[in-house]
Amino acid sequence: MCIVAFAWQAHPRWKLLAIGNRDEMHARPAEPLAQWNNPDHLLAGRDVTAGGTWLGVSEQGRLAVVTNLSGHGVPDADCASRGDLLKDFLSGDGRYSRIAETNFSDFNPFNLITVDRDKAIVHSNRPNSISMPLPPGIHGLSNGPVDKPWRKSGYLNAALGQWIESGSDDPTVLLEDLTDQTTFQPVKQNNVDFEPALEPEHSGVFIRNPVYGTRCSTVVAVDDSGKGMIIERRYAPSGQSTGETSLSFSWPV
C-alpha cells in the first residue's frame, strides 16, 4: 500500500477500519485478494514476484498494512522483502513472525501498522527503527515519514473522519473516497520543486498512470464482536475497475 487511513476504536460499531490504495508498477504480477491455502487463516492479495503481501488479515486476530517510505535513495535489491514481513507476522510463523524481535534494518524503508487482538502499533525503519502504540483515533500512512505525513494522507484521514461523523455504518462506500485524484502543490526545497518520482509528495490519493499507479483499493472493517469484512477493488492501467472481491472473517474475542 502507498496510502492508508486507519481508524482505531473511533467508531461506535467498528473497532477497526482501514482504507487504502496499493500503488505499484502495473507490470508487476499480483494475485487478487483470497483466502490462502497455507496458512488457511490468512486473507490477502499476493505479490507474485516476491510471494508476500502488502495488506492482509489473519483470522487469528491480526492485521498488517505496509507502505513504502520515500526519500532514502534507490531500494536495495539485496534487502529482505517487506511483503515477507507481513506474511510471517500474519501467518504467526517464519523468520519475521515476532515483530518485536525483528531487525528492521533487514528491509528497505517502510511504514507499517500491525494489529494483534487489542494492540495497534505503528512501525517505521528510517531514519531509525521505531514502534509506537496507536491510541484511539484516526491515523494515516503514506510514503512520507510517520511524523510528517504527506498532504494526501491528511486528506484521506479527513474523508474517513467525515464518514464516521455522518453516522454511517456501511464501510463499502469508502471505496469511492479512495478514487479521489485531487493533487496538491509541489513542495519546494531551496526554491526547487520536489524531485520527480514515480509517486511524488504532491500526488493524489488515486494515481491514474499507465506505468505506475493505483492497482487496487482495499477496505477492512472489524466490529466489537470480532466479525469482519475485507473488500478489494482492482484497477487497470487506464484506471478502470477490473474486478472486486469481498470476504468475511471472524476474530477471536
3-250: CATH topology: Penicillin V Acylase; Chain A (3.60.60)
- Please check whether residue 138 is in contact with residue 155, taking contact to mean a CB–CB distance below 8 angstroms: no
pLDDT of residue 187: 60
Report the pLDDT value the prediction gives residue 91, as an integer from 0 to 100.
Answer: 98
For the record, the C-alpha cell of 128 comes out as 531509525
pLDDT at 193 over 50: no
Q: Which pLDDT band holds residue 203 (cuts at 50, 70, 90)? A: very high
pLDDT computed for residue 185 by the predictor = 77
Quick one: pLDDT band at residue 107, thresholds 50, 70, 90? very high
Mean pLDDT in the chain?
A: 94
State mean pLDDT over 157-181.
97
Q: Residue 192: pLDDT band by 50, 70, 90 thresholds?
A: very low
User: In this predicted model, what pLDDT tens digit does every residue of 49-87 receive, in sequence order?
Assistant: 999 999 999 999 999 999 999 988 888 999 999 999 999
Q: What percentage of the chain exceeds 90 in pLDDT?
A: 88
- Residue 131, beta-bridge partner list: 123
| Higher pLDDT among residues 8 and 190, named by residue | 8
Write out the E strands in the chain. 3-8, 14-25, 30-35, 42-47, 55-58, 62-68, 110-116, 119-124, 130-133, 137-141, 188-189, 192-193, 212-223, 227-235, 241-250
Residue with cell 515519514: 145
User: Could you read off the pLDDT of 57-66 as tens digits, one per residue?
Assistant: 999 999 999 9
Note the pLDDT of residue 188: 55
For the chain, the distance separating the N- and C-terminal CA atoms, rounded to the nearest angstrom, is: 28
Query: Starting at the edge strand that comes first in sequence, how are the strands of the sheet with 119-124 ordered?
Result: 30-35, 42-47, 55-58, 62-68, 110-116, 119-124, 130-133
The answer, yes or no, to whether residue 122 has pLDDT greater than 60, is yes
User: Quick one: pLDDT band at residue 118, thresholds 50, 70, 90?
Assistant: very high
- Does 186 score more than 80 pLDDT? no
